[in-house]
Amino acid sequence: MNKTTRILTVDDSASMRALLLHALTSSGFEVAQADDGVAALEWLALNEVDVVITDINMPRLDGFGLIERLRAGDRHQDRPILVLTTESSDEKKQRARNAGATGWIVKPFDPEKLATAVRRVTH
């Protein structure tokens, strides 16, 4: 039996976290949640994860900063990081790509497309 894929979602909106938790657990994933980039780094310092799904606009440390910090260390250089955002500009997308993001998803998200993306980046 395969190991359950563990996902950390990072989003400052409690409503969005609730939607993500429901969608991802319904697809069979194990989900942990953080409400901004700083909380994500603190959680990741103590826990293992297979995929990170992060928003861009967040207080304290935004999604770009989170990706840059994770890629700068040894532990998360190859970790799939998906950006899930309301931002639709090519400039922001390119910035995420340059920071080291694995993929880009524009909200409102489709639960099935999101689950498919997670499976693609973990296999």
Between 20 and 40, CB nearer to another protein? 20
- Decide whether 69 or 107 has the Cβ nearer to another protein: 107
Q: Is the dihedral of CA 43, 86, 110, 90 positive or negative?
A: negative
Q: Which positions touch another protein (CB under 8 A)?
A: 12-16, 18-19, 57, 59, 82, 86, 93, 97, 101-110, 113-114, 116-117, 120-121
- Identify the DSSP state of 4: P
Least distance in angstroms from the C-beta of 91 to another protein:
13
Decide if 50 contacts 5 (C-beta within 8 A): yes
CB-wise, 11 or 40, nearer to another protein? Answer: 11
Measured over all CA atoms, what is the biggest interatomic distance in the chain, rounded to whole angstroms? 42
| Minimum separation from the CB atom of position 46 to another protein (A) | 26
What does R_g of the chain's alpha carbons equal in angstroms? Answer: 13
Q: How far is the CB of 2 from another protein (least distance, A)?
A: 21
Whether 64 and 37 have beta carbons less than 8 Å apart is answered as no
Nearest distance in Å: CB 75, another protein: 20
